[in-house]
Amino acid sequence: MKGSSFAGRFQEKSINTSFQNLGLSAELLRAVAEQGYTEPTPIQAQAIPVVLSGRDLLGAAQTGTGKTAGFTLPMLNLLSNHASYKNAASTSPARHPVRALILVPTRELAAQVQDSVRVYGKHLRLRSAAIFGGMGIGPQIAELRRGVDIVVATPGRLLDHVQQRTIDLRSIEILVLDEADRMLDMGFIHDIRRILGLLPPKRQNLLFSATFSDEIRRLSSQFLHDPVTVEVARRNAPIELIGQVAHPVDKDRKRELLSHLVKTNNWQQVLVFTKTKHGANRLAQQLEDDGIDADAIHGNKSQPQRTRTLKRFKDNELQVLVATDIAARGIDIDALPHVVNYDLPNVSEDYVHRIGRTGRAGITGAAVSLVSGEDRPLMAAIERLINKKVELRVVPGFEPSKAYQTARHVPEERKSQQRQGRKPQRAANPQSRQGRAGKPSSESRRDRPVEGKRRRQSEERVQPRSAARRPDQDERIAQAQHYKKVEREAQPAAARAKSSSISSLFGIFGRKAA
């Protein structure tokens, strides 16, 4: 809370320290004081001295606990103390090589982290830039050419710049991997390894993650050197300031129940999570039809669209924001009151990330889950992860039907198989398999059922050539054949016999040659 601590601080034992005792420079202390902060959060109090000592760090803290400042402040301190900092006033790009790289999973988080770098480094002569997809690469290239000390980037766009040779990573002194667990979930592991191969071997490495999974530990072992581990809360534990409740409801009444809750309770600033982009669009439109000001944010939206929508939501101009898990990373609102799990996540750890969007700045928040009969196994897995039973509360008028208890959860991979099963595949035809095995088949290849594009290709393959001709072409061909026949009939009989003998002779020589 401003005046006492950073946003989203855990309600743990009070820390008997202040920022003045952590070894930060006067310029950084001034910037922190201007933001109204006096006491560091647990992750900051433990991480800042470690980073300032030059050690590698493996840090875990929940979303909203101030971990961004936990690496931003000491990183700025180290860069400003370096001998090359005396050249920072120069406008020459050569005087500003990229010395620190912060990798993040999403565009919104990149913008958020760079904001922190600017706010805390406002009294330092250090330049920073955020590079991510969804926007033109031209302005980013121009900014990099002017020279920057700190780059905040998403892995994909960073590799685009590497390929175009618009960024040089050979001078990196500090590497930060923020939200590393989400980067692994999004499949960035190969990009991360490529980037690691482009960096100088001698550098300081910091890895921060909201959760400490076994995959994170394996990744850290590949590039962290004798790291100090900082874990300020129980693994995968949700913030205690968040009230959690689950409403049982039939699947086809979820949208109706959500509209009811928003309207009857007059909820403002509601962040709603769905599994898919199309589901987010559909739900936002349905809420609009219900008279609720709503919009969606996801990966298919352009970056300007996402930025405008997010700004409306932060400014409390948008009542409901429907988002996917990936797009929601980087949504940082201190007093966000409500998070709704419209679709429960397939990965239980994502539940912790989702509800961590609320309950910040020492203010309580509410996490509501709409649980259909099919969602019960997912809810049970979440309760096992957080080691807590979530209160079940039936909303009057939305009592589940008898089918609720018998509904079964279908895993996503099985749903995918079922969707494919609706379109018969060639491999599913037993006679087709027999033909490939060399056994006789009662059907010819062209007679077997073929769907979609293969059917069209098959029909085109067996279609007579003349069937694709225009009527005038057919008429000209018929006339030519008729004139040829008339000429042949007009030929003397001796000439026809000679022509026949020559044809036979060529046939004999052809057989001998064969």
State yes or no: pLDDT of 5 exceeds 60: no
**Average pLDDT, stretch 123-145?**
92
Name the token pair of 46.
Answer: 């433990």
Structural domain contains residue 420: no
Q: How confident is the model at residue 84 (pLDDT cuts 50, 70, 90)?
A: low
The Cα 201–Cα 232 span in angstroms is 29
Q: Comparing 42 with 328, which gets the higher pLDDT?
A: 42
For residues 176-196, give the mean pLDDT: 88
Answer with the one of 375, 393, 411 that is the final residue of a domain: 411
- Is residue 286 included in any domain, yes or no? yes
Task: Check residue 449 and give its pLDDT.
Answer: 41
Count the neighbouring beta carbons within 10 Å of the beta carbon of residue 383.
Answer: 16
| Residue 430: C-alpha distances to residues 257, 417, 435 (Å) | 47, 19, 9
Region of poorest pLDDT, from 114-123, 261-270, 492-501: 492-501
Q: What percent of the chain has pLDDT over 70?
A: 68
pLDDT surpasses 60 at 323: yes
3-state secondary structure of 227: coil
In the structure encoding, which two tokens stand for residue 435, read together? Answer: 């033909």
Question: Does residue 247 share a domain with residue 226?
Answer: no
Retrieve residue 100's tokens.
């620190």
Question: Do 156 and 44 share a domain, yes or no?
Answer: yes
- For residue 206, give the H/E element and its range: strand 204-209
Q: Is the pLDDT of residue 9 over 50?
A: no
The pLDDT confidence band at residue 108, using thresholds 50, 70 and 90, is confident
The per-residue pLDDT for 238 is 59
d(CA 220, CA 201): 15
Q: Encoding tokens for residue 429?
A: 């035809």
Residue 194 has pLDDT above 90, yes or no: yes
Same domain, 284 and 326: yes
pLDDT attached to residue 160: 95
Is 60 exceeded by the pLDDT of residue 88? no
| Mean pLDDT score, 83-102 | 66
pLDDT cut 90: percent of the chain above it: 44
The CATH number linked to 89 is 3.40.50.300
The SS3 call for residue 6 is coil
Q: Is the pLDDT of residue 435 over 50?
A: no
**Is 344's pLDDT higher than 80?**
yes
pLDDT of the residue at 141: 95
Phi, psi torsion values for 327, nearest 5 degrees: -65, -25
For residue 174, what are the β-bridge partners? Answer: 100, 204
Give CA–CA dist 419/410, Å, rounded. 12
pLDDT in tens, 385-399: 888 899 999 999 999
Number of domains the chain is built from: 2
pLDDT of residue 464: 44
**Structural domain of residue 308, as residue ranges?**
242-411
Per-residue pLDDT of 39-76, as tens digits, reads: 898 889 999 999 999 999 998 776 667 889 999 999 99
E runs forming strands in 298-362? 320-323, 338-341
**Structure confidence at residue 34 (pLDDT):** 92
For the record, the structure tokens of 157 come out as 């766009």
Does residue 38 belong to any structural domain of this protein?
A: yes
* pLDDT for residue 286: 95
In this structure, are 187 and 256 located in the same domain? no
pLDDT band for 225, please (50, 70, 90 cuts): very high
Q: Which residues are 442's β-sheet partners?
A: none
Nearest to 236 by CA among 297, 172, 181: 181
In order, the DSSP letters of 117-179 are HHHHTTTS---EEEE-SSS-HHHHHHHHHT--SEEEE-HHHHHHHHHTT----TT--EEEE-S
Report the distance separating Cα 127 and Cα 100, nearest Å: 11
Do 374 and 402 belong together in one domain?
yes
pLDDT at 254 > cutoff 90: yes
Picking from 353, 378, 411, the residue at the C-terminal end of a domain is 411
Q: What is the pTM of this model?
A: 0.61
Residue 481: predicted pLDDT? 66
3 in any annotated domain:
no
Measure the CA–CA gap between 389 and 404, rounded to whole angstroms: 20
Q: Specify whether 203 is located in the same domain as 347.
A: no
CB 367 within 8 A of CB 354: yes
pLDDT score at 281: 93
Lowest-confidence region among 78-87, 152-161, 303-312: 78-87
**Predicted pLDDT at 307:** 83
469 has a pLDDT exceeding 70: no
Lowest mean pLDDT among 7-21, 87-101, 254-268: 7-21
Q: Is residue 390 part of a domain?
A: yes
373 vs 252: CA distance, rounded Å? 11
d(CA 63, CA 57): 18
* C-alpha–C-alpha distance, residues 294 and 302, integer Å: 18
pLDDT of 223 > 70? The answer is: yes
* Residue 97: Cβ within 10 Å count: 16
Lowest mean pLDDT among 1-15, 226-240, 244-258: 1-15
Residue 280 lies in a domain: yes
pLDDT at 342: 96
Residue 445: inside a domain:
no
As beta bridge partners, residue 271 has 321, 339
SS3 label, residue 406: coil
- Mean pLDDT across 282-286: 95
Same domain flag for 220 and 293: no
Residue 187 and residue 56 in one domain: yes
241, pLDDT greater than 90: no
Q: Is residue 457 part of a domain?
A: no
306 and 390 share one domain: yes
User: Average pLDDT of the chain?
Assistant: 78
The answer, yes or no, to whether residue 472 has pLDDT greater than 60, is: no
Residues 278 and 342 occupy one common structural domain: yes
314 and 220 in a single domain? The answer is no
- Annotate 104-118 with three-state secondary structure: CCCHHHHHHHHHHHH
- The last residue of one of the domains, among 173, 204, 231, is 231
Do 128 and 38 lie in one domain? The reply is yes
